[in-house]
Structure 1
């Protein structure tokens, strides 16, 4: 099992670079950031762009993998996103993971002036978005016409450092999203029940993920793929579980999900006076000692 972190893009770079470097020093496998234009309770405070932040982080670190968690069609187009990912992969010398999902409601869903998409339209768009992005990242020139997204002789030379392209970690819980994960993903992302923490009692949280994993396994079987080929990533912070209260709490939490088949846990870097307000000293102990205490 691997341990990674999410560092919100809320810091001016003079401070932010210290956090990304510290994530590497603590031995995290990867550090991700949210690809939003603003987000929830942080909307009225500092919030910087994901790709520029990750590019800066690539120059400030040497070993740490970097990624979006997650980017979506809400304000992205596959043609421009592919160009940014190719560039970021080059700057980081092949350390990028593209976390990708269909997106949701919220500020990003309407910031460009569009009406919020229905769940069906969101799924329809993602079903077109992901294959086009895959194609753009695999070849020098791409032309494809779609109902939502079109590319006309879109060039991506010299292509990705990672071959055949940067890995996709797909966030999905519904049938179409899980099928796309099985077809295009190198990893799968979940944060638990999409309804939110208030709807799922503490003791039921692991079973939610177990049920999702069973559906992912079925989706892989349908396309002739071994689910074991996929990394399974669990993002902490969206359930009533509190694994960052102590090292022991983390070990208990991590052990439950390791048994289910989760291969990567992602913890939110502490942010004072927010929903991610956790003790930095405990967080660093978890980072350096937590996984070694798993049975």
Structure 2
């Protein structure tokens, strides 16, 4: 097995700015990393850090520089994919020293962490909120899972499930059916992990399970009404810990301040 820490939807902005005019995402990320460092003994052994997109909110070089410096504080091997708020060029520049980041094109990659094959898929369509997988990405994925003998994690930003949060489902993954067809015949133990929806949701793509992690900066309410308000809340915030052993445990980890523990 391998154990991964998943962070997503950091939405870091340029110095002095606030995401959506409200969120001080630089301070929120720094506090999240502080909290995770303090929690490290409870979470270890961690083998790698997975960052599933929307690292930046504004695509600025300064936002990526700050995010990278904070993520580096965790001292873990790091793997990243872009989200809909990201911009490939400055993101690539900030993470260019990571072996898995290609020098051009889609930020798609394959890595091996212990017995677990980790596959990163780029769903970014620059200039729009929704995501799409390129044919080349799907072909890479098909080949990567065909000969996998251990657990497989597929990381992408846009989840291939509908959550019931209407304004987010409207900017979801456009070609989920193509992804489903790509994985339909795969016999490997595959788990797909994503972000984008700022909350914890479990579902399935065919026989493969799908999990979305909470954001480090804000949360979206589950409101299935047709007239549900479009907007975010200041919490809950969090991250996820993923074990790829026989039990395949995925744990959501809250990052909001809380008193305790208290004796029963």
Q: Into which bin does the TM-score normalised by the smaller protein fall? A: 0.3 to 0.5
Question: Under a length normalisation based on structure 1, what TM-score does the superposition of the two structures give?
Answer: 0.42
Give the helix-richer structure, 1 or 2.
1
Structure whose alpha-carbon radius of gyration is higher: 1
Which structure would you say has the larger RCO, counting Cα contacts within 8 Å and 6 or more residues apart? 2
TM-score w.r.t. length of structure 2: 0.46
